[in-house]
């Protein structure tokens, strides 16, 4: 009986930890694109998930040390702006053009 309680306790603890990890990941995603003004947004060329994407400048500062290799040509005509509290690229797309 006590062994079943221990196993249930361990399973419960693992579920709680998984839930906290998922919550933390979702919070990071929200902060990644959050903005109040256009100056909060910056073009990222080193994002681990996408290339030439508009992200929150504070998020970018945390990520820019990651070296990524991309087979894309940088399009300098694109810009970033804050629309409805989300950083958006001028062509409203992500990735290579």
pLDDT single digits (tens) 21-34: 666 656 655 588 99
| Positions in the chain short of pLDDT 70 | 1, 21-30, 47-49, 64-71, 97
CA atoms within 13 A on the CB side of 48: 7
Average pLDDT, the chain: 80
CB 45 within 8 A of CB 72: no
Residue 48 is predicted with a pLDDT of 63
Residue 3 is predicted with a pLDDT of 85
What is this structure's pTM?
0.62
Euclidean distance between CA atoms 15 and 86, whole angstroms: 31
């Amino acid at each position: 009986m006590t062994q079943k309680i221990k196993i249930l306790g361990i399973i419960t603890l693992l579920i709680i930890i998984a839930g906290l990890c998922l919550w933390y990941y979702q919070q990071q995603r929200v902060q990644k694109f959050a903005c109040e003004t256009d100056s909060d947004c910056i073009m990222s060329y080193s994002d681990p998930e996408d290339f030439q994407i508009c992200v929150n400048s504070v998020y970018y500062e945390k990520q820019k040390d990651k070296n990524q290799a991309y087979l894309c040509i940088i399009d300098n005509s694109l810009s970033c702006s804050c629309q409805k509290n989300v950083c958006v690229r001028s062509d409203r797309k992500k990735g290579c053009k």
